[in-house]
């Protein structure tokens, strides 16, 4: 992607997003684990070092969420009270370059490679290049009138005549302007329309009156899908998920029933890993040459040369190497290297070394209600079933722990540790208890 054809990019994110029916600002609703706005900014930064995001509704919240990911962008607060609308949103921008690309923040599927095509009209010296969609039904969109390859008019649905409503060429809402034209004409916008807003689309009419060249660029409906409701949010996430998964499969990852797998943006999978149906890979998880079986959840952890599940939960900051994790095992901040934990365990705040076997039902009691403590288990330890480690506790190498033990002290190399209540046996007690006869 080149930054040579220099342009400034403005991302409009000031709208209220009322159709989302949510307390959360629309652009912070998540797709594949990241706010929608994150994706527009990420693509914009591939094309420009001058990216401005226009905010208004809950701008402090939006700004602080976005600053978690990007530090090299500019924020502008729209004067929404006096200048509402998409035209009002661009009034305060200060572009660095001769061209300005205006993006909507609610289009999380846009791709920098497609936005680059807006430059193909440079030889025509187009003053405005605007994105258009050829739809079967353009309901909800502004309609674009195109004659002999040039844009002649854009009319908003709410302002359109019955004839104009029949037009199927829609305004996708993304434009590239010559900066000079934009800055000269923005102050001339008015709000004489059905919504009493300042429309960016009115610049089209002004450009035509001034005899400028306006070019339509037909764009893909999938990439330019707008998200205005929770239904559209789910649709967009589905497309986004398919993109993520296809990329991994192309690189050699095997996915069983990929439509049932959920993988967040930022996850890495290397080698010939196998991801079975129903798996969720979250946060900054990294899977290397491993097999993740049905219905596991892995969050912000590393799994390398291991097999996990079915139905295991690997919680943040676990590092699982050369290890077998079976069903109903939960880990958190667990460093497991060459370990077998086949069934029903909680391994939290622990480090367990090579050759160690964790019996069924083993629990690290890592929390006393106030603080968290570490369990450290060495090499070749055999942990009998139903063992509790009351942390902090350290088990050295070559230790045998008897089934049902509660480990409350450190155990030295080579020792057996066993806590077991003495069994009581009373002949015939069953019949006495239930007052029945043998
Ligand atoms: C706009 C276009 C319409 C096009 C459609 C495509 C106008 C007048 N109409 O309509 O022709 O078919 O996009 O999706 O431009 N925003 C602000 N400040 C505001 C209002 C909106 O920053 O005061 C932002 C929104 O956050 C959003 C974008 O601008 O990211 C588009 O706003 P929206 O209200 O969705 O525009 P539409 O009515 O859909
Ligand atoms: Ca919209």
Q: What is the block-wise mean pLDDT of the chain (438 residues), using blocks of 10 residues?
A: 76 92 96 97 97 97 97 96 96 95 96 92 83 92 91 91 94 95 96 94 93 93 93 97 98 98 98 97 98 98 98 98 98 98 98 98 97 98 98 98 98 97 94 87
| Residue 149 CA to ligand 2 centre (angstroms) | 25
Which residue in the block uniquely carries the two structure tokens 């208890």?
A: 433
Nearest CA to ligand 1 atom 37: 141
Query: 143 CB under 6 A from ligand 1?
Result: no
Which of the listed residues 9, 15, 35, 58 should we mutate to test ligand 1's pocket, taking the one with most ligand atoms within 8 A of CB?
15
Q: Which residues are catalytic?
A: 343
Judge contact between 263 and 277, C-beta under 8 A: no
The C-alpha atoms of residue 40 and residue 117 are separated, in whole angstroms, by 16
Query: 87 CB under 6 A from ligand 1?
Result: no
Query: 200 CB under 6 A from ligand 1?
Result: yes
**What per-residue confidence (pLDDT) applies to 17?**
87
Nearest CA to ligand 1 atom 33: 15
Query: 86 CB under 6 A from ligand 1?
Result: yes
**What per-residue confidence (pLDDT) applies to 4?**
56
C-alpha angle 264-109-77 in degrees, rounded to nearest 5? 100
The two structure tokens encoding residue 237: 């996430």
Per-residue pLDDT of 21-68, as tens digits, reads 999 999 999 999 999 999 999 999 999 999 999 999 999 999 999 999
Per-residue pLDDT of 181-232, as tens digits, reads 999 999 999 999 999 999 999 999 899 999 999 999 999 999 998 899 999 9
Judge contact between 268 and 287, C-beta under 8 A: yes
Query: 226 CB under 6 A from ligand 1?
Result: yes
The C-alpha atoms of residue 216 and residue 343 are separated, in whole angstroms, by 61
Q: Is 204 exposed, middle or buried (0-12, 13-18, 19+ CB in 10 A)?
A: buried
| Residue 209 CA to ligand 1 centre (angstroms) | 23
| Residue 11 CA to ligand 2 centre (angstroms) | 13
Query: 202 CB under 6 A from ligand 1?
Result: no
Which of the listed residues 22, 26, 86, 232 should we mutate to test ligand 1's pocket, taking the one with most ligand atoms within 8 A of CB?
86
275-to-296, 378, 386 alpha-carbon distances in Å: 9, 30, 30
From the list 156, 133, 154, 134, the residue with the least C-alpha distance to 145 is 154
**What per-residue confidence (pLDDT) applies to 123?**
66
**What per-residue confidence (pLDDT) applies to 1?**
52
Query: 411 CB under 6 A from ligand 1?
Result: no
Question: In this structure, which ligand is nearest to the CA of 17?
Answer: 1
| Residue 241 CA to ligand 1 centre (angstroms) | 26
Judge contact between 243 and 265, C-beta under 8 A: no
**What per-residue confidence (pLDDT) applies to 437?**
76
Please tell me whether the overall predicted TM-score, pTM, comes out greater than 0.75 for this model.
Answer: yes
Atom of ligand 1 nearest to the CA of 106: 30
């Amino acid at each position: 992607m080149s930054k040579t054809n220099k342009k400034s990019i403005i991302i409009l994110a000031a709208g209220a997003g009322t159709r989302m029916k949510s307390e959360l600002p629309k652009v912070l609703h998540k797709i594949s684990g990241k706010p929608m706005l994150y994706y527009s900014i990420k693509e914009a930064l591939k094309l420009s070092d001058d990216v401005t995001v226009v905010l208004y509704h809950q701008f402090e919240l939006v700004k602080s969420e976005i600053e978690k990911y990007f530090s090299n962008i500019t924020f502008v607060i729209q004067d929404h009270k006096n200048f509402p609308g998409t035209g009002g949103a661009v009034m305060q921008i200060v572009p660095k370059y001769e061209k300005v690309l205006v993006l909507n923040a609610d289009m999380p599927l846009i791709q920098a490679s497609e936005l680059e095509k807006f430059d193909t009209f440079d030889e025509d010296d187009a003053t405005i290049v605007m994105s258009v969609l050829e739809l079967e039904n353009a309901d909800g969109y502004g309609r674009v009138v195109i004659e002999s390859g040039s844009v002649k008019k854009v009319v908003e649905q709410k302002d359109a005549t019955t004839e104009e409503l029949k037009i199927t060429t829609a305004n996708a809402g993304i434009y590239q302007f010559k900066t000079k034209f934009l800055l000269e004409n923005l102050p001339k916008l008015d709000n004489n329309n059905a919504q009493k807003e300042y429309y960016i689309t009115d610049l089209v009419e002004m450009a035509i009156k001034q005899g400028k060249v306006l070019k339509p660029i037909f764009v893909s409906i999938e990439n330019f899908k707008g998200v205005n409701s929770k239904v559209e949010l789910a649709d967009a996430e589905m497309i986004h998920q398919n993109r993520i998964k296809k990329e991994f499969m192309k690189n050699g990852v095997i996915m069983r029933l990929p439509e049932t797998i959920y993988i967040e943006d930022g996850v890495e999978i290397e080698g010939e890993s196998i991801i079975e149906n129903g798996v969720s890979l979250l946060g900054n998880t990294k899977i290397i040459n491993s097999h993740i079986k049905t219905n596991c959840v892995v969050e912000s952890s590393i799994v390398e040369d291991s097999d996990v599940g079915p139905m295991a939960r690997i919680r943040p900051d676990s590092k699982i190497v050369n290890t077998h994790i079976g069903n109903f095992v939960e880990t958190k901040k667990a460093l497991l290297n060459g370990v077998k934990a086949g069934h029903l365990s909680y391994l939290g705040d622990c480090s367990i070394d090579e050759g160690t076997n964790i019996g069924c039902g083993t629990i690290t009691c890592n929390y006393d209600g106030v603080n968290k403590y570490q369990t450290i288990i060495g090499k070749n330890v055999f942990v009998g079933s139903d063992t509790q480690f009351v942390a902090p506790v350290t088990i050295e190498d070559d230790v045998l722990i008897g089934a049902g033990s509660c480990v409350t002290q450190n155990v030295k190399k080579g020792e057996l540790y066993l806590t077991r209540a003495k069994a009581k046996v009373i002949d015939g007690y069953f019949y006495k208890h239930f007052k029945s006869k043998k």
